[in-house]
Amino acid sequence: MIVGVLVELSNKNIDKEFFYLVPDELVSNIKVGIRVVVPFGTQKLEGFVLEIKNDKEIDIELKEIFSIVDSEVILSNELLKLGKVMQEKTLSTLISCYQVMLPKALKAKNGVIINKKYDIYYKLGNIPEHLSKGQEKIIKLFENKNVVSREEIVSISSSILRTLESKNILVKDKVEHYRLDYDKVTKREYILTKEQRSVVDEIENSKDLVYLLHGVTGSGKTEVYIELICNIISKGKTAIVLVPEISLTPQMVKRFTERFGNRIAALHSALSEGEKYDEWRRIMRGEVEIVIGARSALFAPISNLGLIVIDEEHSDTYKQDDSSPRYNAIEMSIERAKLNKNCKVVLGSATPSLDSYARGKKDVYHLVSLPNRVNKKPLPNIEIIDMNKNLKNMRGHFSNILIEKIKSKIDLGEQVILLLNRRGYSSFISCKDCGYVFKCPNCDITLTYHKSTNNLRCHYCGYAEGMVDICPNCNNHSIDTIGVGTEKIEEELKLFIPKARIVRMDFDTTTKKGSHKKIVKEFSEHRYDILLGTQIVAKGLDFENVTLVGVINADTSLNIPDFRSSETTFSLLSQVAGRSGRKDKEGEVILQTFNKEHYAIRYVKYHDYLGFYNMEMQIRRELKYPPFYFLTYIRVSGKDNNICYKESLKIKKSLEKYLDKTIILGPSSSSLFKVNNVYRYGIILKYKKQDNLIPVLEKMIDVYKSNRKVIVDLNFNPRHF
């Protein structure tokens, strides 16, 4: 028997099957989709079995595999196919596409061992005639039981136990134990509103593949997902629910558990590798019907998939930008759905990405909507505070109006969420007095400050200008890069409202495992009055007692050096506003800004998604940005700045020759120009239709795959540059 094996090294040169002989004693255990250990040059590597050949003519030149790692298949046929599709879409190595699907414990990598956990049990063995007092006491424990767990006999020392075991009086046994326990919750079920019901019916009665559910904040999208899943499960199928990140997982898991009990597995970044491994095995063994998790949960080894839900589909966490394979989880979900008969994909958001909504309008996605809140109340009123005018009436970073409002809410026994917008912080330069921001004259993109060269640069086209310290708008000496953190805001709050009970939630306070869940739980039990945080507080949270949302600085995200900065801001502010007044009490929002007139802020004030969409689409069309054009980012990096730059120029020149319908920008130094002494340049491709794009880019990668001086990476339609 011969097997084709894809080894663990992610290197374009060896990213293909290598063939090995299987020794006779291993033949019966070989399956496609398991890991094996093979000789590779002088090394010993792990790899995945992709193919089995029962060839008669055996090539005796082939080496034999050393051993088999898995008894169960870890890459099903479906996932093997999906990996190939991902490779074609991202042009990364096939091995990286498979590795990204698996928890660390199951990745092909020699030497990584993550153990299963076991519960230890004892059974009675042969009881001798004469027992010591101590032994008798232990035997008594078995009076009404067949087995006794180690926990029940903690008081007995291990040396006594060992003696009993060696005399065969007690027999040790072990049962596999999953690390995660789900909280017990009481069952709960809602009767869908008429609007929810008609959305569910429309999705179920239609034959389309992808649906975009545009539902305002608090319109009950989650309940729609739950109902759809319920019906899928009753047909014997399964579902995957993707959420943007850990911040949403606890509440989502809780709502699903209330309905489905423990037939759910959760996969997210806060789990330990051991826990991920356990959850993964529960899924593979068919012990769950629903998987909830962040981006990579889309690769969960669940079979018989009937539905994939992507909540908060506008979230940029669905695109893996930072490492290869740079895949888009929405795109890959659709591909996965295609591999399952009648499987549907439902994308949901109050502020769909422009790309998705444009597809909805063109009927590429089937558009459904929930225009009203479940509680039949209007969306919260949004008051805009003009910081340019209000600077005199400020206390620290707070306008008097916001402080007074917070106080009155606390007096009423209601709760407050405060957002400190830190998106795009400190990468741009602005005037502290008037909020002026420097922009590229060619691209309408915020310029980024480069400390090493003390100038401002555009990451799209490479434009640069010198740093100044006087604001060209108001002529004050107030140009600044430094931003404020949540600690500082908390200090101010304590000073102005001493009685307020404040809890902070940002990436610093939530890195510890479970801390996030704890904050969510304690805030919902009203142990705090104010939840203060970065954009992590904007997404999806559902607290019934929150009636005020305050945004301390609406603007920073307008200045992210990215053509999506208005969209990001509109969506972030709409989402955070949507946390207010979700149940019986009506909510309100106070939004502090330097850019009162900016269209993103204006449309947020009127909860006008469509207005924003139309305006932004016009701008995108004019400036040739997505969704009118596709973008692809080519990164050239290396230790030698000169060589790096020269190679980027060379790439640009040759691409210009072959890609006749593509606009090519750069090379420009990227936002992280020099990291760990590695220099980076970026080339941006903009195109509507370029038929030969993939072969040309493949050729480029091929040319550079053995180059030791520079590395060339590709990112199709990145969310971050």
The answer to whether 619 and 701 are in contact (CB under 8 A) is: no
Q: Between residues 107 and 221, which has the closer beta carbon with respect to ligand ADP? A: 221
Q: Which residue has the tokens 């008037």?
A: 434
Packing angle of the helix pair 693-704, 641-658 (nearest 10 deg): 150
Q: Which stretch binds ligand ADP (CB under 6 A): 192-200, 430-438, 604-612, 642-650?
A: 192-200
- Report the nearest approach of ligand ADP to the CB of residue 540 (Å): 7
Binds Zn ion (CB under 5 A): choice among 69, 461, 678, 696: 461
Buried b (16+ CB within 10 A) or exposed e, 182-217: eeeeeeeeeebbebbeebbeebeeeeeebbbbbbbb
> Min. distance of Cβ 551 from ligand ADP in angstroms?
18
Give the integer Cα–Cα distance in Å for 102 and 117: 19
Q: How many residues bind ligand ADP (CB under 6 A)?
A: 16
How many CB atoms are located within 10 Å of the residue 439 CB? Answer: 17
Number of Cβ within 10 Å of residue 37's Cβ equals 18
Strand order of the β-sheet with 170-177 is 147-149, 117-124, 170-177
If binding is defined by CB under 6 A, does position 336 make contact with ligand ADP? no
Long-range contacts of 480-486 (CB under 8 A, 24+ apart): 480/429, 480/430, 480/431, 480/432, 481/426, 481/428, 481/429, 481/449, 482/426, 483/422, 483/425, 483/426, 483/556, 484/397, 484/420, 485/420, 485/422, 486/420, 486/532, 486/533, 486/534
Q: Residue 558 Cβ, how far from ligand ADP at the closest point, in Å?
A: 24
> Rounded CA gap, 721 and 719, in Å?
7
CB of 406 or CB of 665, closer to Zn ion: 665
In the list Zn ion, ligand ADP, none, the entry touching 295 (Cβ below 5 to 8 angstroms by class) is none
Question: Cβ of residue 462: shortest distance to Zn ion, in angstroms?
Answer: 7
Least spacing, CB of residue 532 vs ligand ADP, in Å: 21
**Cβ closest to ligand ADP, residue 265 vs residue 577:** 577
Pairing of the two strands 290-293 and 170-177: unpaired
What does the per-residue mask of binding to ligand ADP show for 577-596, with x meaning CB under 6 A? -----x--------------
Q: At what angle do helices 515-524 and 249-260 cross, to 10 degrees?
A: 70
Name the one residue in this structure whose structure tokens are 């939004």: 591
Distance CA 613, CA 11 (A): 42
Q: How far is the CB of 632 from Zn ion (least distance, A)?
A: 17
Q: Token match 């997505």: residue? A: 626
Which member of 218, 462, 561, 581 binds ligand ADP (CB under 6 A)?
Answer: 218
258 binds ligand ADP, rule: CB under 6 A: no
CB of 442 to Zn ion, least distance (A): 4
221 binds, among Zn ion, ligand ADP, none (CB under 5 to 8 A by kind): ligand ADP
- Answer for which of 87, 196, 534, 632 binds ligand ADP (CB under 6 A) is 196
- When binding is defined by CB under 5 A, the residue of 463, 507, 629, 645 that contacts Zn ion is 463
Pick the piece of the chain touching ligand ADP (CB under 6 A) from 156-164, 211-219, 240-248, 442-450.
211-219
368-407 residues in contact with ligand ADP (CB under 6 A) are 374
Smallest separation, CB 192 to ligand ADP (Å): 5
Q: Is 456 in the site for Zn ion (CB under 5 A)?
A: no
Looking at the Cβ atoms of 97 and 307, the one nearer to ligand ADP is 307
Interaction between residue 607 and ligand ADP (CB under 6 A) = no
Query: Site for ligand ADP (CB under 6 A): which residue of 89, 214, 221, 459?
Result: 221
Phi, psi (deg, nearest 5) at residue 111: 95, -5
Among positions 416-455, residues that touch Zn ion (CB under 5 A) are 440, 442-443
Alpha helices for 460-605 (secondary structure H): 486-496, 515-524, 565-577, 599-605
Of residues 372 through 401, those in contact with Zn ion by CB under 5 A are none
Cβ closer to ligand ADP: 222 or 593? Answer: 222
Taking CB under 6 A as the rule, does residue 599 contact ligand ADP? Answer: no
How far is residue 627's CA from residue 335's CA, in Å, rounded to a whole number?
A: 20
What is the closest distance, in whole angstroms, from the C-beta atom of residue 199 to ligand ADP in the complex? Answer: 11
Contact call for residue 223 and ligand ADP (CB under 6 A): yes
Nearest-angstrom CA–CA distance, 96 and 87: 9
**Considering the rule CB under 6 A, would residue 555 count as an interface residue with ligand ADP?**
no
Encoded tokens for 598: 């900016």
What contacts 286, CB < 8 A, 6 or more positions away?
303
β-bridge partners, 168? none
Question: CB neighbours of 545 closer than 8 A, spacing ≥ 6?
Answer: 413, 414, 415, 526, 583, 585
Which of these segments, 218-226, 287-295, 325-333, 425-433, binds ligand ADP (CB under 6 A)? Answer: 218-226
| C-beta of 210 vs 374, nearer to ligand ADP | 374
* Residue 440 partner contact from Zn ion, ligand ADP, none using kind-dependent CB cut-offs of 5 to 8 Å: Zn ion
Does position 243 bind ligand ADP by CB under 6 A? no
Given ligand ADP, Zn ion, none, residue 442, with its beta carbon under 5 to 8 Å by kind, binds Zn ion
**Which pair of tokens denotes residue 236?**
């014997």
| Nearer CB in complex with ligand ADP: 539/652 | 539
Partner from Zn ion, ligand ADP, none contacting 421, C-beta within 5 to 8 A by type? none
Phi then psi dihedrals of residue 310, to 5 deg: -120, 105
- Cis before 39? omega within 30: no
> Where does this chain bind Zn ion (CB under 5 A)?
440, 442-443, 458, 460-461, 463
> Where does this chain bind ligand ADP (CB under 6 A)?
190-193, 196, 215, 217-223, 374, 542, 582
